[in-house]
């Protein structure tokens, strides 16, 4: 398969790099700026708790038209970059091209379907704790890298099986869950509660889970999202909060979510697609989301400053 990785940050760099390393797929990265320059001159470096990887030569460009239609587009930009990515990726889309969003949040599959048609989109999600240390330099800090894939109607289609086989052949834990929407919302429940609370407190995960007050807030945030998922037609396991907290307790104590790191650094973040989406969907469906609304409203001034809307 010819695969375009649209966005060569931590997620795109790691999973795209593993696919490229397998030598079974033709992988090209869509990047820009210093990241593109580093990919072209130095290749891709992945430091990992599972063993370091260096790929000396990778294909990379900032011009999708140079590539033309591909079999698969892995969409790995930040949620706030998706609109710009959609405007740029049209040259990659042929009649059989499959778009696989690996973004955080729950809106990307719908957004891509509205732009290119539902038939082009396979819902995906990625789980990994990683960050971009420097241009073309990914640091995989923890958690078993994982990909889940599924059709909108949860059919085990040929293309989903083929994609899953490609990821598995690259050594990535891959799943085709019975309900991809429940899987997507389960991840959403985890990252939003952790990321939002971490961004407000500036504390690492070990502190958040050990202090009774912040642990209680995290649990309440998850409970709000569980209720919200049900109101949106997605039934999560009844014990989803308990099992998620067990997972939280297994993670490195110094862990921080990408939302926290971006806001702390004064960068644009995925706040609107995380706690902001919970607050918005709660208003639309009549589900109370006071913890997530509090987090969103507290962080909104910092988000607007990062986007240049206000100064202080």
Beta bridge partners of 121: 99
In the numeric block, which tokens belong to residue 157?
């289609």
Q: What are phi and psi of 267, to 5 degrees?
A: -100, 160
Check residue 252 and give its pLDDT: 85
Pairwise CA distance, residues 312 & 305, whole Å? 7
CB 74 within 8 A of CB 6: yes
Q: What pLDDT does 143 receive? A: 81
pLDDT at residue 75, rounded to an integer: 98
Which of 148, 143, 111 lies closest to 128 in space, CA to CA?
143
Q: Which pTM does this prediction carry? A: 0.92
The domains located in the chain, with CATH, are: 2-178 (3.40.50.720), 181-306 (1.10.1040.10)
The β-bridge relationship of strands 26-30 and 2-6 is parallel
Q: 250 is written with which tokens?
A: 């297994």
Stated length of the chain: 312
Q: List the chain residues with pLDDT less than 70.
A: none
Is-contact 303 260, C-beta < 8 A? Answer: no
Residues 83 and 60: beta-carbon distance below 8 Å? no
What confidence tens digit (pLDDT) does each residue in 188-200 have? 999 999 999 999 9
- Write the DSSP string, 35-87: HHHHHHHH-EEEEETT--EEES--EEES-GGGT--EEEEEE-S-GGGHHHHHH
pLDDT confidence of residue 24: 83
């Amino acid at each position: 398969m010819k695969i375009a990785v649209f966005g060569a940050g931590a997620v795109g760099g790691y999973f795209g790099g593993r696919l490229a390393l397998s030598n079974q797929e033709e992988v090209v990265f869509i990047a820009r700026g210093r990241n593109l320059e580093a990919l072209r001159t130095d290749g891709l470096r992945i430091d990992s708790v599972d063993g370091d990887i260096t790929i000396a030569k990778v294909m990379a460009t900032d011009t999708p038209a140079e590539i033309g239609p591909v079999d698969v587009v892995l969409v790995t930009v930040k949620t706030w970059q998706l609109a710009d990515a959609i405007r740029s990726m049209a040259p990659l889309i042929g009649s059989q091209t499959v778009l696989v969003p690996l973004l955080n949040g729950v809106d990307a599959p719908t957004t891509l379907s509205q732009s290119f048609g539902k038939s082009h989109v396979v819902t995906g999600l990625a789980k990994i704790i990683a960050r971009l240390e420097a241009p073309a330099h990914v640091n995989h800090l923890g958690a078993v890298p994982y990909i889940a894939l599924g059709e909108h109607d949860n059919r085990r289609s040929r293309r989903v099986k083929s994609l899953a086989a490609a990821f598995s052949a690259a050594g990535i834990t891959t799943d085709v869950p019975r309900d991809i929407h429940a899987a997507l919302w389960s991840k959403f429940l985890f990252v939003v509660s952790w990321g939002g609370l971490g961004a407000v407190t500036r504390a690492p995960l070990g502190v958040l889970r050990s202090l009774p007050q912040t642990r209680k807030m995290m649990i309440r945030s998850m409970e709000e999202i569980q209720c919200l998922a049900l109101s949106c037609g997605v039934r999560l396991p009844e014990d989803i909060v308990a099992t998620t907290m067990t997972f939280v307790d297994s993670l490195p104590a110094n862990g921080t979510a990408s939302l926290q790191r971006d806001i702390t650094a004064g960068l644009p973040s995925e706040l609107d697609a995380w706690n902001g989406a919970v607050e918005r969907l709660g208003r639309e469906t009549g589900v109370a989301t006071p913890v997530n609304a509090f987090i969103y409203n507290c962080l909104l001034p910092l988000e607007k400053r990062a986007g240049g809307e206000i100064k202080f």
